[in-house]
């Protein structure tokens, strides 16, 4: 299997606190990877290192065989890494369509009628076509989550990182977002999903990695992960 | 196209006014009002579009003004050269300040820009070539083009600069740069992760904004026939340049124009009828009222009124 992302021995510290201590991850092209762990385990820190929100870490990150460790976030986006945020961050002064035109303009270099048509296709796929010209600060929580995924898709990613895209959603809404993620994966996009809703992670992921206290404590198929005593200890305590 | 026609007609209007037989004070006051249109528009490019509040406005005005003085004193440079020189140097200052401070966010960036004012004021205070703390008297050259007085010529020059600045701001708003700056204002992290080179576009905005403030400051020494650091580096410029877009509305290029025309006109009327000291009070009171009652400015009020009347 071809590797799309390789995280080599990444260490990230905040002052005296070590958030990640020597994390190694390999992600394969087209894979659906689940990233789990209790609060404070380093999941978001790891994806911040991958997406380029943090560049002051030790170790190396390779994407499509190239070292991207020193690249800024926008350069990584141009290489094909897109993400959504744990707390949605819409461009609230813009409409939903305009939100999508930002990556079209800055990644693709164009935001004309053709791109608007493409944006509309993405929004239709997310069930947001009727909200295209609504101000993004008027959206509901689930619509915001979908819009973030749509905006990430407008950057034409090869790797999509979904950071708790289902947090705060109802069971029905979780299924909607899961369906969207499955559809995106079918388009050939590799997806890393960070999620606290275990049923969703287990349903979606082909492989799951569990982090605890900045270290990977185990990885494997969803079935093996749920039975792993290390994972149970991390979540439930001794 | 429509905008170009309006801009050209407005310019013709200003040209017509400046050769008409009207009271000279109109041009004296009009120069200041138009100067504030340039300053407010320039401030809004970084402060309004990107949300980076620059308190260092006087530093950029002063760089424009003192560059003009140096060019005039050393090589008797004509006004156009003074303005271009002032704009270039103020733009370079914007770039340098941006490189040093734009990694800071929020209040930290604002404080850093205030520091630039004090640093440059100290330098000018001790620079004898430009008059130091005492200031420098300047004699206006006889060149009037086809205007009756130098003040009328300066009024028309400032009108050209105002229309030019507004056109630049309008172009930025509708361009990739404007879209990127708005994204930065809404969420810098999300902008960066959407492919926006945030530092680069902030630097471009800071440079353009600084250059426009510089060109607004460059004709000032000739307007007053005098320059001195205390008035040139006055922080009231910052209050006005920030207050005018906030009162007019920061989301659109027309907002700072409305704010500047409204406030600067009131200030000029107050100066003549009541007292010069009340100028800042006018801005202060209106600023507080708008921040509390209409945070999106006059444009926001118009938008609300339009929505409610539908």
Q: Express each pLDDT in A97-130 by its tens digit.
A: 999 999 999 999 988 999 999 999 999 999 999 9
Q: Check B186 against A151: CB less than 8 A apart.
A: no
Structural domain harbouring B8:
2-308
Asked if residue A102 is part of any domain, the answer here is: no
pLDDT given for residue B101 in this prediction = 85
Q: Check B180 against A102: CB less than 8 A apart.
A: yes
For residue A36, give the CATH number of its domain.
3.40.50.300
Cα separation values, A216 from A169, B76, B164, Å:
28, 72, 58
Using left for φ > 0, alpha for ψ between -120 and 50, and beta otherwise, residue A8 falls in: beta
Kindly indicate the confidence band of residue A238, based on its pLDDT and cuts at 50, 70 and 90. low
Average per-residue pLDDT in chain A?
A: 93
pLDDT given for residue B103 in this prediction = 76
How far apart (Å, rounded) are the C-alpha atoms in residues B29 and B159?
A: 12
How far apart (Å, rounded) are the C-alpha atoms in residues B35 and B161?
A: 8
Q: Residues 128..167 of A with a Cβ closer than 8 Å to B: which?
A: 151-152, 154-155
Half-sphere exposure of B272 (CA within 13 A, CB side): 9
Closest CA to A214 of A79, A65, A6, A14: A14
In chain A, % of residues over pLDDT 70: 100
How far apart (Å, rounded) are the C-alpha atoms in residues A96 and A123?
A: 9
pLDDT given for residue A193 in this prediction = 96
Residue A94 DSSP one-character state:
S
pTM of the model: 0.91
Structural element, H or E, at residue A204: helix A198-204
Q: Check A91 against B198: CB less than 8 A apart.
A: no
Asked if residue A152 is part of any domain, the answer here is: no
User: Distance, in angstroms, between A102 CA and closest chain B CA?
Assistant: 7
Name the domain count of chain A.
Answer: 1
pLDDT given for residue B275 in this prediction = 81
The C-alpha torsion from A46 through A56 and A73 to B116, rounded to 10°, is 140
User: Distance, in angstroms, between A230 CA and closest chain B CA?
Assistant: 34
How far apart (Å, rounded) are the C-alpha atoms in residues A224 and A34?
A: 13
Write the pLDDT tens digit of every residue in A74-94. Answer: 999 999 999 999 899 999 999
Residues of B in contact with A155 (CB under 8 A): 194-195
Q: Which residues pair with B227 in a beta bridge?
A: B136
Name the domain count of chain B.
Answer: 1
Q: What is the mean pLDDT of residues A35-62?
A: 94
**R_g of chain B computed on alpha carbons:** 19
Q: Residues 264..283 of B with a Cβ closer than 8 Å to A: which?
A: none
Asked if residue A104 is part of any domain, the answer here is: no
Chain A touched by B191 (CB under 8 Å): yes
Closest CA to B200 of B211, B188, B214, B212: B188
pLDDT by residue, tens only, chain B of 310 residues: 689 999 999 999 999 999 998 999 999 999 999 999 999 999 999 999 999 999 999 999 999 999 999 999 999 999 999 999 999 999 999 999 999 887 777 788 889 899 999 999 999 999 999 999 999 999 998 877 888 999 999 999 999 999 999 999 999 999 999 999 999 999 999 999 999 999 999 999 999 999 999 999 999 999 999 999 999 999 999 999 999 999 999 989 999 999 999 999 998 888 888 887 787 788 888 889 988 988 889 999 998 898 888 7
Most A CBs within 10 Å: which of B182, B186, B195, as the mutation test of the A interface? B195
Closest CA to B66 of B288, B222, B244, B295: B222
Q: Which segments within B157-281 are labelled E, that is strand?
A: 226-227
| Cα dihedral B220, B221, B226, B232 sign | positive
Using left for φ > 0, alpha for ψ between -120 and 50, and beta otherwise, residue B99 falls in: alpha
- The set of residues, in sequence order, having a beta carbon less than 8 Å from that of A222 and lying 6+ positions away, is A34, A201, A202, A203, A205, A208
Using left for φ > 0, alpha for ψ between -120 and 50, and beta otherwise, residue B132 falls in: left
- The set of residues, in sequence order, having a beta carbon less than 8 Å from that of A181 and lying 6+ positions away, is A32, A149, A162, A165, A191, A193, A204
How far apart (Å, rounded) are the C-alpha atoms in residues B36 and B216?
A: 8
Which tokens in the block code for residue A60? 């190396």
How far apart (Å, rounded) are the C-alpha atoms in residues A183 and A169?
A: 19
Structural domain harbouring A47:
3-89+157-236
Buried b (16+ CB within 10 A) or exposed e, A139-159: beebbbbbbbbbbbbbbbbbb
Write the pLDDT tens digit of every residue in A132-188. Answer: 999 999 999 999 999 999 999 999 999 999 999 898 888 899 999 999 999 999 999
Closest CA to B61 of B172, B221, B204, B168: B221
| Cα A112-B173-B13 angle, rounded to 5 deg | 120
Chain A touched by B16 (CB under 8 Å): no
Closest CA to B187 of B178, B196, B176, B177: B196
Specify the 3-state DSSP secondary structure of B17.
Answer: helix
Structural element, H or E, at residue A218: strand A215-220
pLDDT given for residue B104 in this prediction = 77
Structural element, H or E, at residue A12: strand A3-14
Half-sphere exposure of B298 (CA within 13 A, CB side): 18
Chain A touched by B192 (CB under 8 Å): yes
Residues of B in contact with A92 (CB under 8 A): 186
């Amino acid at each position: 299997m071809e590797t799309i992302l390789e995280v080599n021995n990444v260490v990230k510290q905040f002052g005296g606190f070590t958030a990640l201590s020597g994390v190694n991850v390999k992600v394969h092209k087209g894979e659906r990877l689940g990233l789990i762990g209790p609060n404070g385990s380093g999941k978001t820190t790891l994806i911040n290192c991958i997406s380029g929100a943090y560049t002051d870490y030790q170790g190396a990150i390779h994407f499509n065989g190239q070292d991207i460790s020193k690249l800024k976030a926008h350069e990584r986006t141009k290489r094909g890494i897109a993400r959504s945020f744990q707390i949605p961050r819409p461009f609230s002064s813009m409409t939903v369509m305009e939100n999508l035109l930002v990556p079209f303009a800055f990644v693709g270099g164009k935001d004309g009628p053709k791109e608007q048509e493409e944006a509309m296709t993405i929004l239709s796929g997310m069930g947001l076509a009727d909200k295209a010209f609504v101000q993004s600060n008027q959206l509901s929580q689930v619509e915001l989550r979908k819009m973030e995924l749509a905006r990430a898709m407008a950057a034409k990613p090869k790797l999509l990182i979904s950071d708790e895209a289902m947090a705060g959603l109802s069971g029905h809404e979780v299924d909607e977002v899961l369906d969207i993620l499955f559809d995106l994966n079918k388009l050939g996009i590799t997806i890393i999903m960070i999620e606290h809703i275990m049923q969703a992670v287990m349903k979606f992921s082909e492989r799951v990695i569990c982090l605890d206290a900045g270290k990977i404590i185990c990885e494997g198929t969803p079935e093996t992960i749920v039975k792993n005593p290390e994972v149970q200890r991390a979540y439930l305590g001794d | 196209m429509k905008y170009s026609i309006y801009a050209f007609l407005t310019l013709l209007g200003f040209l017509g006014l400046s050769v008409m037989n009207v009271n000279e004070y109109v041009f004296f006051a009009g120069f200041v009002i138009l100067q504030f249109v340039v300053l407010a528009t320039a401030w809004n490019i970084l402060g309004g579009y990107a949300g980076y509040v620059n308190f260092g406005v006087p530093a950029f005005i002063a760089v424009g003004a003192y560059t003009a003085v140096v060019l005039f004193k050393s090589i008797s440079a004509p006004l156009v050269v003074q303005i271009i020189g002032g704009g270039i140097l103020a733009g370079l200052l914007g770039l340098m300040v941006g490189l040093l401070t734009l990694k800071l966010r929020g209040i930290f960036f604002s404080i850093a820009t205030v520091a630039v004012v004090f640093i440059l004021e100290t330098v000018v205070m001790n620079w004898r070539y430009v008059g130091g703390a005492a200031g420098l008297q300047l004699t206006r050259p006889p060149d009037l083009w086809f205007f009756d007085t130098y003040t009328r010529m300066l009024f028309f020059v400032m009108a050209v600069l105002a229309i030019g600045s507004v056109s630049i701001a309008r172009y930025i708003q509708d361009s990739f740069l404007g879209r990127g700056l708005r994204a930065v204002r809404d969420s810098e992290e999300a902008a960066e992760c959407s492919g926006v080179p945030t530092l680069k576009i902030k630097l471009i905005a800071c440079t353009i904004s600084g250059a426009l403030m510089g060109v607004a400051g460059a004709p000032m020494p000739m307007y007053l026939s005098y320059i001195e650091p205390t008035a040139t580096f006055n922080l009231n410029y910052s209050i006005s340049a920030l207050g005018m877009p906030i009162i007019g509305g920061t989301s659109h290029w027309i907002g700072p124009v409305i704010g500047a025309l409204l406030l600067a006109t009131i200030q000029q009327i107050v100066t003549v009828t009541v007292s010069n000291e009340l100028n800042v009070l006018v801005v202060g009171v209106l600023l507080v009222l708008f921040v509390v009652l209409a945070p999106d400015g006059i444009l926001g009020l118009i938008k609300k009124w339009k929505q409610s009347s539908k």
